[in-house]
Amino acid sequence: MDTFGQVTQATTAKMKKRRRTIKERRDIVEETLVPGTSVARVARRHDVNANQVFYWRKLFRYALFSGGGGGIETSVGEWEVRWR
């Protein structure tokens, strides 16, 4: 039986990229900021690659700690602009 070119339902689900909203990304990052939490486990729970979560954390830190003492609203705004 020739199975070349056949795609199963399980592989189709894995192949489709999921685009997360900014809120979803922020929520995932905030979960990883809890002391003692494993980034890899949070990533697996949300079906995201751990490296992607580390990148989101980097963007989050950059937005919070850069730019002249703005408040959380300003920092989150910068973070959102960076992701668009």
Strands in 1-84 per DSSP E: none
The reported pTM is 0.60
Delimit the domains of the chain by residue range.
19-83
One-letter amino acid identity for 53? V
CA distance 58 to 20: 17
How confident is the model over 9-20, as pLDDT tens digits?
A: 655 556 678 889
Which residues of the chain carry a pLDDT beneath 50?
Answer: 68-75, 84
Q: What is the pLDDT of residue 11?
A: 57
Task: Report in angstroms the alpha-carbon separations of 40 from 15, 28, 56, 75, 83.
Answer: 20, 11, 13, 26, 22
